[in-house]
Amino acid sequence: ELAEKLGIDPIELRIRNEPETVPSNPARRFSDRHLTRCLREGAARFGWSKRSAKPGVTREGRWLIGMGVAAGYRGAPTMKSAARIKLDADGRITVQTDMTDIGTGSYTIIAQ
C-alpha cells in the first residue's frame, strides 16, 4: 500500500530501505542477509516486470490475478558448523552435525 501511494515499485521500495547494518548495532554490517539479491532474483524468476502496478486489473477469465511481494528474516546468529558422515560395512550411513534444529526443518532436510 505504501509503495502504491508513493508510486514506487514494491520491490524497489524494499531495496531502497534495506539496511546495510544491523539496526540495533549500526557498527555491525549484515554479513549473511542477502535480501536485496533475493528480491531481485525472485522478481526476475516470477516475471515481476510484466505485472500491472495497478491492483485489480489483471484477469484470467472471471479470476482476478494478483502478484505481490513479502519478505521475512530471522536474525539468528550464524557460525561455522561441520558434519561428519560415516559409512558402515553393512551400508548404513550415519550423519553427525554440530547444529541444533529449532523447528526449521533441518532434521527433515538432512534425512531426505
58 is in which domain, residue-wise?
2-111
Q: How confident is the model at residue 11 (pLDDT cuts 50, 70, 90)?
A: very high
Q: pLDDT, tens digit, for every residue of 60-94?
A: 999 998 888 888 777 666 678 888 999 999 999 99
Residue 86 falls in which region: left (phi positive, over 0), alpha (psi -120 to 50) or beta = beta
How many domains does the chain contain in total?
1
d(CA 101, CA 51): 38
Q: Are 67 and 48 in contact (CB under 8 A)?
A: yes
